[in-house]
Amino acid sequence: MTYLLLSMEEAYFAGYNDREFDTYGTETTPINQIFGGYIRTEVTCLECGTVSTTFQQCQDFSLDIKHVSTLDDALEDYFSPERLDEGGDYSCRRCNKKVVATKKFSLEKDPQVLCIQLKRYVVLLLDIIHFCIIHSLKDRLEGIKE
């Protein structure tokens, strides 16, 4: 599905020959208007409480299903806070050093069509299954979204 979306975007941009697009232009293509959404990432410093918020455009979710048995559990796991331990890569701007923090994703803007990539690993074999779920999943995400 990812390759299909990339090919559709390439075909769209090919219609504009060598014209350059800024971030807004690339994020508002007809393909992104259908499949694009925005993820909010909040990283909270556990020493001073400073929250760093960023937004990222996305066209699919890559869900780990190694330890879950339902799609709901995989989505809940994806949107659960993750602890970034001391000695990791996160540096707090206020503390001006590497700190322990939590990182949490939430859905800022839902895509009209949500594509989910399920990742399951068996020994050294990577098996990726794509599902494209149209709007019916939106109600489930509403419960997870803050």
- In the complex, the residues that contact Zn ion under the rule CB under 5 A are 45, 47-48, 50, 92, 94-95
Q: In Å, how far are 29, 56, 89, 90 from 85, measured between CA atoms? A: 38, 23, 9, 9
Element (H, E) at 146: none
DSSP classification of residue 81: -
Of 67 and 93, CB closest to Zn ion: 93
Task: Tell me how far, at minimum, the Cβ of 108 lies from Zn ion, in Å.
Answer: 23
**CB nearer Zn ion, residue 50 or residue 117:** 50
Is the CB of 73 or the CB of 82 nearer to Zn ion?
Answer: 82
Whole-angstrom distance, CA of residue 58 vs CA of residue 116? 11
Distance of closest approach, residue 101 Cβ to Zn ion, in angstroms: 8
CB contact at 8 A, 62 and 117 = yes
Dihedral angle over CA of 128, 134, 136, 142, nearest 10: 80
Chain centroid to CA 111: 11
**Chain position carrying tokens 């990283």:** 43
Min CB(100)–Zn ion separation in Å: 9
Shortest separation between residue 104's beta carbon and Zn ion, angstroms: 16
Q: How far is the CB of 52 from Zn ion (least distance, A)?
A: 9
Q: Which amino acid is at 61?
A: F
Closer Cβ to Zn ion, 12 or 90, answer by number: 90
Nearer to Zn ion, 65 or 100 (CB): 100
